[in-house]
Each structure stands twice: as C-alpha cells, then as structure tokens.
C-alpha cells in the first residue's frame, strides 16, 4: 500500500457524536477509519449546549415524548421513527455513561445524587439530561478519549472527503459504495480510502447561510456527495434557525442555549417589553420556528438590529451554576448575564432534511449509511424539537452499527480503486473567484431563502444559484482541489436542493414559511419532499 492508498472495513466520514459512536460500536469487529475535516473535536456536537432529550423520569413517558415531538414536527414526523428513537433513549444515555460521559446531578428524595433534568421549548416534561450548559463538549471529549483508546480505529484529522466511490461509477457490477477520494489538507495530496462499508456522519449544511451558529465544517458535504452518488434527499426546505445567537461582531457563532428560556428567561424588545406572549400562548417556551419568526418579525417591524434575552430576574448563583459556559462567554464580550438583557439574533442552526435513510440508517446505495444531521430519518418532521438531535445521532449510529455487523460476512473486500487523476489541472491563481462566489451564495440564501420566503425570492435564488453552479463546475474541472473549493461546490449543490424543495411546497408548515402561501394545507400532512437524482 502506498502512502496515498488506505483500506479499512468501515470508513466513517465525520467525527461528531454520530460518527464516533458508530466507530466505537464497530471497532471490536474490524478496522475503522474516521475522517475529521479539522481536529477530531471540531464539529457541531462539541458546541451543543442544551442536552439530550430522553425519558428518564418516572413522571415522564415514552408516549408523552412521542406526542411532543409529533406536535413540534407539524404533521411531517414519521411516527414509527419517532417512537423507535424515543424507545431507545434510555439505552442511549446508559451507553454514554458507560463511555465516561458525566452528566449534571442533584440530590434525590433519598439524598442520593440523581440526574438533573431540565425542560426546553416544545417539551411537556423535564427530560433534558445535560452536563451543565456544555453537554456537547462532555459527550464529544469522552467519545474522543474512548476512540483514541481503541487500536482498531485510525483517525484521519484534517482530511476532507471529495466524492464517494461507487461500483456503478467505476463500471463494476452492482450499485454499492466502496470508499472515497479524500484530500489531505496538510499535504494537499488526494488520497484514496477503500472500505467495505461507508458511514456518512458529516453534519448539516447551515454554512450555506450568511449567519449560522454552526462551526465552519458544517458545509453540507455528506448531502452533496450522497446526491452525486445517486441517493435521494428529503425535506431540505426545513432549515431551523436558532432564535438566540449572541449579537456581537466577534461572536456570530455563539449560541445562548435553549435551556435559558426553559429556566425562565424572557425575550424583550429594545424598550424592555416582552413580545412572545403576543405570538403564542406558550410564550418563550414555544417551538423554535415560532420564536425565530417572532424575533425576525420584531426586528423588521422596528428596524432593530437585535432583540434581547433576559434571565437577570433569577439569582446570580442560579445563573452561574446552571449556565457557567454561557455566563463566562458573555463576559468576554462585555455582557453580564446576571444583571442585564443580552442582544440576540436568529441564525441558521440545524438542517432538518438530508439523505433519505430507513430505520437501519441505510441509504439508497448498498453499504452506504447516513447518521445524524446529514440524514433524514423522519424524526424531526417540519421542525426539530430541542435536544432530539443528539439523541438521533446516538440511536441511529447504533442502528447503523447493528446492520453493518449483520451484513459483515456477506460484504466482500472492496475492489482496487483507481488513483485520483489530476494530470489535466493546474494550481489556481484566481482564489478571488471562490471567495466572491462563496459570499454571494451565502448572502442570497440569507436574503431569499431565510426565515421568511416568497415565490419571487425563491425564483431569484434559483436563477443565481444556476449561474454560480456553472462557474463552479468550470473552475472545479480546471484547477486542483482545495478545502474552500470543495466546500463551495458542496454548498452550491445543497443550496440548489434547498431551493427546489422550498419551491415545491406550496404552503407554510413548521420551519418553511412562505408569505405567498401562508396557510398550512389540510390533508397534506403525510407529504414529504423527496428529490431523486
């Protein structure tokens, strides 16, 4: 094997909760390669503050969690998926505890420590298990430690996948995934990884928007690669905007956790008055789509740069003990959570659609699985309920691992894969093309395909995206690949799919709000938006 050729049993593309938990479950059986675009911890999991929704309290029930999720999903959740996920929630938490994750506790009635459960928007019970206000960090660092202790797992840090390799594209029999071309960001060389199974765990596509709460790596790579490989995608019109991102020029990706509102924080106008009671009887505890639209509407109505979140009526001790990370981070930017309202704006946060999979995380392509935010399982419907996302990562990573193990003896070793051909490309001397197209794409998606849409805005977005695609295709065919070029190529592909999906939905439902079709259609509750390559 040369330095540019690698082989493994399972290639996991992505290193968040979904990817690492799948890798850990598979490592005892064979050789697993985990690809991380940046350092292994850099991804949405690490920055998740709130927690994981799970039925852990005797006063709570699977049925209650299921119904809350169905209500938040505005008629588009697949009930079988919701029930499957919730029924596996306790086991998922127990598995995390076994991996060394430490969750916040409080004294029980018998004086013994028990898990502290909080409540978030859309939930009727306290069922959010958390590690203070840095749950994602606790989960990610524990999983990374466990992965590094596994001799069968090889970490490829600072690698970005370029495209999936499939038998039909290699003119071989069948239609299965056999590996990927990957770019080594340290050396600039393209390498080949062959695998018997491939798991996409690349996260979402919120970087397609100008303002996002996500880290830089969330550029829709897995969705775009799966689409190019021939997989269907579903419900990409449903992009969740987190209502409360800190409004500060140096803090565009810092979230003020959902749990703040769960613990009594108010949303206020610049004059100090509350506005959520005007929009929903649940006020600050309404689902995120309602809260985000209310903030967006108030900002536009008043011409204000931001709204405010205020929990200063709670004691300083309560705030600093429950939200130490948020408190410290706000102080860095000159805001004291214990004494003043904090300026906030909505930001693109979560991709509810994705690569279509079944209950075993299988895509349309044999031996290709998709897990976590990259996938559409049917759990979230038209609006993701708070803290269901990490749960989905864990439950469907286990489902993928179980299916791979069941298929282990049937799937042969991958064929010898051809090396990457860059004999007809050169180094680019026009990086300005990438930077200009990058900004244009994210700006037009924010302006035309954001929280509130219209038919005309979507048509404008579609025309501009088509022009950008032509430019990027030409650029891609002439120059050596770079991280920025690959991300831009993937983002413009996902942007096109988002716009196509949004144009096909002639109603307003959940996270998709179109002023030209403000009503939710009756009788269309079962219609998912499915696009086929």
Strand order in the sheet with 266-268: 239-246, 342-351, 307-310, 266-268
Q: Which of 137, 196, 288, 293 is catalytic?
A: 288
What are the tokens at 458?
A: 């979507």
Q: What is the CA radius of gyration of the chain?
A: 22
Angle ∠(380,381,387) on CA atoms, nearest 5: 20
CA dist 302 and 240 (Å) reads 23
Task: Find tokens 């970490």 and name the residue.
Answer: 155
Q: What tokens does 166 get?
A: 């499939």
Mapped onto helix, strand or coil, the DSSP state of residue 408 is coil
Rounded distance between C-alpha atoms, residue 206 and residue 219, angstroms: 7
Place of tokens 């306290």: 126
Q: Give how far the C-alpha of residue 498 lies from the chain's centroid of Cα atoms, to the nearest Å.
A: 15
How far from the centroid of its chain's Cα atoms is residue 445's Cα? 18
What secondary structure does DSSP assign to 239-296, as a single string? EEEEEEEE--TT-TT-B--HHHHHTT-EEE-TTS-B-GGGT-TTGGGS-HHHHHHHHH
Gap between the Cα atoms of 459 and 112, Å rounded? 60
For residue 514, what are its two tokens?
Answer: 């179109």
Cα 60 to Cα 54: distance, rounded to the nearest angstrom: 9
Task: Indicate if 137 belongs to the active site.
Answer: no
Q: Is the dihedral of CA 83, 87, 88, 94 positive or negative?
A: positive
| Residue written as token pair 């996948």 | 161
Phi then psi for residue 342, to 5 deg, are -110, 130
SS (H, E, C) 153-200: EEEEECEEEEEEEECCCCCCCCCEEEEEEEEECCCCCEEEEEEEEEEE
Q: Which residues are catalytic?
A: 288
């Amino acid at each position: 094997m040369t330095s540019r050729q690698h082989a493994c049993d399972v290639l996991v593309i992505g290193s968040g909760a979904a990817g690492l938990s799948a890798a850990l479950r598979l490592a005892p059986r064979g050789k697993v390669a985990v690809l991380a675009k940046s350092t292994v911890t850099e991804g949405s999991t690490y920055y998740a503050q709130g927690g994981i929704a799970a039925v852990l309290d005797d006063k709570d029930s699977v049925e209650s969690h299921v119904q809350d999720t169905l209500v938040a999903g505005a008629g588009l959740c697949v009930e079988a998926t919701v029930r499957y996920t919730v029924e596996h929630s306790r086991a998922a938490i127990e598995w995390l505890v076994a991996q060394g994750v430490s969750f916040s506790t409080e004294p029980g009635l018998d004086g013994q420590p028990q898990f502290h459960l909080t409540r978030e928007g859309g939930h009727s019970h306290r069922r959010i298990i958390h590690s203070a206000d840095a749950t994602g960090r606790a989960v990610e660092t524990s999983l990374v430690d466990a992965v590094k202790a596994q001799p069968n797992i090889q970490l490829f840090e600072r690698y970005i996948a370029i495209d999936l390799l499939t038998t039909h594209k290699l003119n071989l029999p069948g239609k299965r995934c056999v590996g990927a071309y990957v770019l080594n960001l340290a050396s600039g060389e393209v390498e080949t990884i062959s695998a018997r199974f491939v798991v996409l765990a690349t996260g979402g596509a919120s970087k397609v928007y100008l303002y996002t709460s996500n880290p830089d790596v969330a550029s829709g790579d897995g969705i775009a690669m799966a689409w190019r490989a021939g997989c269907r995608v579903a419900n990409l019109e449903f992009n969740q905007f987190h209502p409360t991102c800190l409004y500060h020029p140096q803090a565009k990706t810092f979230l003020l956790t959902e749990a703040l509102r769960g613990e009594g924080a108010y949303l206020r106008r610049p004059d100090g008055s509350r506005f959520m009671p005007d929009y929903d009887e649940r006020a600050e505890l309404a689902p995120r789509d309602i809260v985000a639209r209310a903030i967006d509407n108030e900002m536009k109505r008043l011409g204000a740069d931001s709204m405010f979140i205020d929990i200063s009526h709670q004691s300083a001790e309560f705030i600093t003990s429950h939200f130490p990370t948020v408190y410290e981070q706000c102080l860095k930017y000159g805001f004291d959570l214990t004494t003043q309202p904090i300026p906030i704006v909505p930001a693109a946060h979560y991709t509810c659609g994705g690569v279509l999979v079944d209950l075993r995380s299988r895509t349309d392509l044999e031996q290709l699985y998709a897990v976590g935010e990259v996938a559409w399982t049917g759990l979230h419907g038209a609006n993701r309920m708070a803290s269901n996302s990490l749960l989905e990562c864990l439950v469907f990573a286990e489902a993928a691992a179980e299916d791979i193990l069941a298929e282990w003896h049937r799937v042969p070793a991958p064929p010898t894969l051809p090396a990457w051909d860059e004999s007809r490309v050169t180094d680019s001397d026009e990086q300005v093309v990438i930077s200009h197209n990058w900004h244009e794409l994210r700006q037009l998606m924010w302006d035309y395909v954001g929280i509130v849409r219209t038919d005309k805005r979507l048509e404008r977005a579609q025309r501009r995206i088509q022009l950008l695609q032509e430019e990027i295709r030409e650029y891609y065919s002439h120059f050596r690949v770079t991280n920025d070029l690959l991300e831009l190529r993937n983002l413009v592909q996902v942007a096109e799919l988002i716009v196509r999906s949004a144009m096909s939905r002639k109603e307003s439902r959940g996270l998709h709000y179109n002023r030209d079709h403000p009503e939710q259609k009756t009788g269309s509750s079962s219609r998912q938006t499915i696009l086929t390559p």
